[in-house]
Structure 1
Amino acid sequence: MNAVLQLRSASYRVKDAVLLDQISVDFRPGETVAIVGPNGAGKSTLLRLISGDLSPSSGHVQLLGRDISAYAPRDLAKRRSVLSQHVNVSFPFTVEEVVRMGGEGHADAESNGLIDSLLDEVELAALRHREFPTLSGGEQQRAHFARTLLQLALGERTHGKGVLLLDEPTSSLDLRHQIKLLDLARSKAREGAAVIAVLHDLNLAARFADRIIVMKKGTIACDGDATTSISAKVMADVFSISAPIRQTQQALPFVLQQDMTILDRP
């Protein structure tokens, strides 16, 4: 299947600091990809290049065979939807109004039914009229996720299956909603979207992703399925951790913090 997103020798620098170095990778429709790695590895920077929020210092990023910088912002928004790591809403919008922002540029009639179903999916229907700043951090995250899904769904109606980008989407969620959010994201991939998420939790990454890209110092250290990317060698070489790799009944690898030993290396 042809790639919906392609990076070719893409680098990103800020003055003398190289945040991404010669990244070449493809992302295909219908797959879920997790991007993992230690702090400062370049995960969020890579996602911002993919989204078109940043332009590479060198190399190319293409969306649907076209340089991503060639899209006007409104056209880009119809083809990819982004849940950023930090989204601040200080004004007293209601939950429903925040979700509706994902339908900007579309008629209310197009959005209304979708908003109802999305609020049900993220379990916020009972809070739809609450003022946004009164919500907990996790509830706000779920509302922003619904907004992102609304944007994706409306864009797909006119432009075909799109790209869903998630930057640490589970950081403020409880265990139930971490799993529910990622299961919802997986369902969008099964419907044909390309879904790419930056995650810190390797066990969630293994549950969620068809592929796991492991970042280290601005480069791709590993790109493969969960068994390839969550290994004793990767744990040692990338995370400076020694830990046994266990397996679930579904043969997915997982690691326990109780088993981890810090290796004496930078």
Structure 2
Amino acid sequence: MAYHRRLGLRLWQLERRVFCEHGTAKARTPVLGGVYYVVLITRSMSMASRKSLVCMMLLLLLASSCGDKSATSSTSPPSSTSPTTVPATAGVVWPAADGSVPYADPVEAAAGFATEFIGFTEPLVGEFQRGDSRSGEVEIRPTATGPVTTVLLRQVANDDSWWVLGAVTDAISPTAPARDSIVKSPVLLQGSSTAFEGTVDVAVRSRSTARPLAEGFVTGGSMGEVGPFDSTLEFANSATPDGAIVFSTSSMEDGRVWEATVVAVRFS
């Protein structure tokens, strides 16, 4: 009898050891040895002793569940969330970076940019002229016979919205700052132009509808003759990391914005 008791106890101990080390996936619950041991040992015990032993065995069986729980927790796959796609808007000057809703129509984007950012007054807005599958341009005129300012647009986000990259006009050709370059105060202004009395207005703007960070002018050629300009302009800190340098001329009759070149920049 003593031999069978030792055998049952040893069998239960071995089963529990394997169970706790490998979990339920690789071993059976250590019940067989325990039951075998209990059946043999309780034959020589009183009823009270049998009850105590059964309670002890139940507690041991509950404790053996630690292997199953640890194995389950260690193999649980880590939770993950899908990354948020952020529009790649580097080099964009419009719409404003203050929560404005992007434009679904490129013509509306060009019109909003011309009036709210450059400062045109009731301009004539042309049709959208497509470049490639995701870019194009829209011509803006102050009057029916006025000069053309071409607004450059592109779909830069992961949807069908339209964003303005800048604007160009034949009369104003800046060489500094370069498009999408990093600038700091004072900003270097170089290039060539022709305008009434040679004056080209300059505004440093953040990518917003707020007032310009600075306003000034450069002097190039006049009366149709193109001449160089070279100057600097100090400006205040920007609330947005990107913005633009706006070069524009004014009407000789009423001072309205006549044409413009807009260069996207980033602030250091």
Shared fold per TM-score greater than 0.5:
no
Q: TM-score, normalised by structure 1?
A: 0.21
Q: Which protein, 1 or 2, shows the higher relative CO under an 8 Å CA cutoff with sep ≥ 6?
A: 1
Q: TM-score, normalised by structure 2?
A: 0.21
Higher-strand-fraction structure = 2
Indicate the structure (1 or 2) with the bigger Cα radius of gyration: 2
